[in-house]
Amino acid sequence: MFENLKLRLLDTIIDMEEHKLSKSGKTEKKETESEVKEDEEGKDKYEEEESTPSKFAGVYSDTESEEEEEEDDDEEDFSLGINSFIKAASQRRKQRKSKDKIEETDCGVENRILGCATYEKKYIKHKERVVHLTLVTVRKRFRKYGLGKYLLQQIIDPAIVGQYDAVVVHADNAAVDFFQKYGFSDDIVLNSRWSDLAEQFTNCTLMCYLPGFSGHSLLKTIKIPDFEVFELEQEFNKWKSKTTEVYQNQVSIVMRMKHEIIQLKALLKALVDRQQKLIETLLRDNDRVKKERAII
């Protein structure tokens, strides 16, 4: 009974359009430009949607699209087999809906994935080792069971990802509290060190996790915080707020001083130019007077 219930708690990665059509009793599948299909050679892989040319392509020369570089033949295509997978997953889904008792063969790998985390090892300025957490997610119906915390534990474990100086994540604005709960900081000044990683991310908050000096993971020691820990957190946030305010004031003063110095240099240059012109005028007048006296 428990196995059947567990197998029914599934979210599949099958096309959402097919899911909507199955609910409304329609079985006919609509084709879209971005639909996964076999290419001309019959290979089972994913084809990206072709971008339409700009309407101004024939007007402005700088809008002409350049030919895309061909991919290397040695590069592995991880989308191979996607058509077969989606077709088999769709069939398994239909079988589960049509049966009262679900069998093991009616479930595939798409039913066993509860969450995932993707990371990259990068070097910032050729010296700082950074683990860039590009994706971490848990299926909605399996949240609040500690799966996200478990995934973060794996990511910050040096035994799994290797030695690092920081773990950096571009958190969705709705997930900032989640990462802060487990030791990630959204401090703007601190995270400015990793700004080079923010090119392809939008509408998110840059956060980082710095390991302790002892090397122990904070996630393995975090429990319900007591009053002392709460006070410590409040004091730290107050200090950070004051430090940020002081930094902002200092930057404001420096910027004002910079603008004032530039303005003073401009005024000084104008004054020097006027003095130089006055000196040249006086010299010409002096030469003229000398010539007039010499004639007399």
Look at residue 51 in the predicted model and tell me its pLDDT. 66
DSSP class of residue 185 equals B
For residue 175, what is the DSSP state?
G
**pLDDT tens, position by position, 260-285:** 999 999 999 999 999 999 999 999 99
Checking if the pLDDT of 14 tops 50, the result is no
Task: Tell me if 99 sits within 8 A of 83, measured CB to CB.
Answer: no
* Cα–Cα distance for residue pair 85/68, rounded to 1 Å: 29
Instruction: Encode pLDDT of 146-180 as tens digits.
Output: 999 999 989 988 888 888 989 999 998 888 999 98
More confident residue, 207 or 8: 207
Cα separations in angstroms, 164 against 131, 208, 221:
7, 12, 20
Q: Are strands 204-209 and 166-172 parallel, antiparallel or unpaired?
A: antiparallel
249 versus 226: which is more confidently predicted? 249
pLDDT computed for residue 284 by the predictor: 92
pLDDT of residue 268: 94
Contact (Cβ atoms closer than 8 angstroms) between residue 194 and residue 208: yes
Does 128 or 126 have the greater pLDDT score?
128
Please give the biggest Cα pair distance in the chain.
129
Q: So what's the pLDDT on residue 72?
A: 52
Sort strands 204-209 and 128-138 into parallel, antiparallel or unpaired: unpaired
Q: Residue 237 above 70 pLDDT?
A: yes
**What are 72-124's pLDDT values in tens digits?**
556 677 778 888 888 888 988 888 888 888 888 888 888 888 999 999 998 88
pTM confidence score: 0.56
**Nearest partner of 110 among 128, 135, 87, judged by Cα:** 87
Give the model's confidence band at 3: pLDDT under 50 very low, under 70 low, under 90 confident, else very high: very low
| Residue in the block written with tokens 């072709």 | 50
The band of 17, judged by pLDDT with boundaries at 50, 70 and 90, is: very low
pLDDT confidence of residue 103 = 84
